[in-house]
Amino acid sequence: MKLNNRGWGLGFLIIAGVIVILILIVTSIKINNLIKDNRKSNDSNKNSQQTDTSDNVETSALYKTLETNLEDAGEAYLIYHETLLDNTDDFIIVKYDTLKSEGHITNLPDPVGNKNCDGYVMIKTDFSVKPFIKCSNYKTLNYDLWEE
C-alpha cells in the first residue's frame, strides 16, 4: 500500500496565513473605529449634560472659591493690622479695594462675564473673618446688610 505524502503544501499555508492576518487587521481597525465613535458620543453627551445640569454647581463652586480667596486676604490683612480690633467693640469692615491695594489679593474675576466682582470682609474681635462678594449673578447672603 502506497501513502500519499503531498499534504497541504507551503504555498497553501502562506496564503491561508495572509488571509487570517488581513482579517485580523480589518477587524482591529473596525473595533478601533467603534471605540473612537463611542468615546466621541460619550464626550458630547457628557458636555451637554455639564452645560445643562452642572453649570450651576460649577459656577457656585467658583463663587465659593472667590469667597475663600477673599477670606484668606482678610486673614492676611488681620496679621498686619491686628491693633485695629482694639478700637472697636464688635467688628471692622475691610473693603476689597483696601485688600487689593495692600497686596493681599490680586483680583476677583467674575466666573460669568468678563468683569471683576466686588466685596469686603468682616473681621470680628474674635479674629474670625467672614467674606462677602457681589458679582453680576451672585451675591453673598447679607451682602447689603454690612456694606458701607
**Type of residue found at 51:** T
Residue 8 CB neighbour total at 10 angstroms: 8
Digitized pLDDT (tens) for each residue of the chain, 148 residues in all? 566 666 778 888 899 999 999 999 999 999 998 888 888 877 766 655 444 444 566 777 888 888 898 999 988 888 888 787 777 778 888 898 999 899 988 888 888 777 888 899 988 888 889 999 998 888 888 888 866 5
107: part of which helix (H) or strand (E)? none
| Per-residue pLDDT at 55 | 56
Looking at the whole model, is its pTM more than 0.85? no
- Alpha helix stretches (DSSP H) within the chain: 10-49, 55-80, 96-101, 143-146
109 DSSP assignment: B
**pLDDT attached to residue 46:** 60
Using alpha carbons, select from 128, 127, 138, 111 the residue that is nearest to residue 119: 138
Report helix, strand or coil for 83. Answer: helix
